[in-house]
Amino acid sequence: MALIVQKYGGTSVGTIEKIENVAEKLIKAKQAGHDIVVAVSAMSGETNRLIDLAKQISDKPDPREFDVLVSTGEQVTIALLAMALKKRGYDARSYTGAQVHILTDSAHTKARILDIDESRIREDLEKGRIVVVAGFQGMDEYGNITTLGRGGSDTTAVALAAALKAEECQIYTDVDGVYTTDPRVVPNARRLDCITFEEMLELASLGSKVLQIRSVEFAGKYNVKLRVLSSFQEGPGTLITFEDDEMEKAVISGIAFNRDEAKLTILGVPDQPGVASQILTSIGDANIEVDMIIQNIGDDGTTDFTFTVHRNDFDAALAILEKTAKELGARQVKGDNAIVKISLVGVGMRSHAGIAGTMFKALADEGINIRMISTSEIKISVVVDEKYMELGVRALHDAFKLDQAPAA
């Protein structure tokens, strides 16, 4: 018997039928002898419906009132789920974020959880109740309703698991685990039994949309074991946990890719201190986030400077860069928004040499030209032409034999 926190996202509770299905899954876990706390999202479509109402009033609705509005979405789900459990003869209680004192800061629409008073939940668990908590929301120290931003229900679940010292935090979603890469691109992509927090963070930030990044960080920080499972099919899912001996067997865990990038280059910049800063400050001032950055020094006293931004920001960044180029007396500005980033992720890179070489050779063998390279301790990212994305990902998946489970 253990205390388990489960979380169901919007698609898992998108209809009354699906909510009844979640009730059945909770009862199964309860019957297995576990204490169950569950965090749920708004029914899919509901949050967008509420946002549309707000947008009819104002393009920039008041953030405090925006949170009052959108937090009703999860409140509807908790009530319906608790009803479904009660109908089946299982005692249950629903709670809004405020009711179980999920204390956050006052940063409306993107608040951070500071504390949870778990006493009320423990009382209910002792009475044999299934506790149903609204995800995505909390309250600040003044009693104002706050929300955690999109995907915040994952964070609620992890925070509940941390506060309650749960055995495991199970994130039910529409995929049955974390894969070596997107199965829509590589049909023989393999579900991973486990993955480390660090790898998951790299994969999440690189485009695998299985888990919300902040919830993974939170789980890592508070030692919460996370498991990703499917709401719609049985299976063990993927456990996200801490690095141990057994896991080191796998050198590479997965391949992430990101189609949303665009590349900008400023050529022939006088190579003097403060140039990089001047370029990036003007971009940052426009609230444009920069991802990869590369600087090459030429032999004529000038330097070339390349960076990537989100594709949506490409036009704005290009205009800024052309202005900066004039100020700096640079030779030329070039941009390319038909690129993708492909990243190889694995904690095994730390202790295994030759990974980069294998990676670059696999791409070269397919005639794929690498436009940029960037590395971290557990990741190697390359930028290539967009048309090579599928080919590149498949080539790397094959080269590292990711379709086969590593030897135990």
- Where does this chain bind a copy of itself (CB under 8 A)? 16, 19-20, 50, 53-54, 56-58, 61-62, 64-66, 68-69, 71-72, 75-76, 78-80, 82-84, 86-87, 93-94, 96, 98-99, 143, 145
Q: How far apart are CA 43 and CA 298, in angstroms?
A: 56
For a copy of itself, the closer CB: 83 or 267: 83
Min separation Cβ 407 and a copy of itself, Å? 49
Q: How far apart are CA 389 and CA 396, in angstroms?
A: 11
Start-to-end CA distance of the chain, whole Å, equals: 29
For a copy of itself, the closer CB: 76 or 267: 76
For a copy of itself, the closer CB: 35 or 67: 67
Partners of 103 in the β-ladder: 115, 139
Min separation Cβ 42 and a copy of itself, Å? 10
Min separation Cβ 313 and a copy of itself, Å? 28
3-state secondary structure 154-185: HHHHHHHHHHCCCCEEEEEECCCCCECCCCCC
Helix (H, G, I), strand (E, B) or coil at 390: helix
Q: What is the DSSP letter of 210?
A: T
Q: Is 143 exposed, middle or buried (0-12, 13-18, 19+ CB in 10 A)?
A: exposed
Min separation Cβ 3 and a copy of itself, Å? 23
Min separation Cβ 62 and a copy of itself, Å? 4
For a copy of itself, the closer CB: 33 or 89: 89
For a copy of itself, the closer CB: 44 or 99: 99
Q: How many residues does the chain have?
A: 408
For a copy of itself, the closer CB: 15 or 332: 15
Min separation Cβ 272 and a copy of itself, Å? 49
- Which amino acid does the sequence have at 73? G
42's CB contacts (< 8 A; 6+ apart) are 10, 13, 70, 73, 74, 76, 77, 136
For a copy of itself, the closer CB: 43 or 288: 43
For a copy of itself, the closer CB: 80 or 240: 80
Min separation Cβ 29 and a copy of itself, Å? 20
Min separation Cβ 125 and a copy of itself, Å? 17
Crossing angle for the helix pair 46-57 and 63-70, to the nearest 10 degrees: 150
Q: Long-range contacts: 119-125, Cβ < 8 Å, 24+?
A: 120/95, 121/37, 121/95, 121/160, 121/164, 122/164, 124/93, 125/3, 125/35, 125/37
For a copy of itself, the closer CB: 98 or 359: 98
Min separation Cβ 214 and a copy of itself, Å? 24
Min separation Cβ 14 and a copy of itself, Å? 12
Residue 332 tokens read as 């030329």
For a copy of itself, the closer CB: 117 or 398: 117
222's CB contacts (< 8 A; 6+ apart) are 158, 159, 161, 162
Alpha helices by DSSP H, listed for 88-231, are: 119-126, 152-163, 197-205, 213-221
Q: Where do the DSSP E strands lie in 174-289?
A: 194-196, 226-230, 238-241, 254-258, 261-270
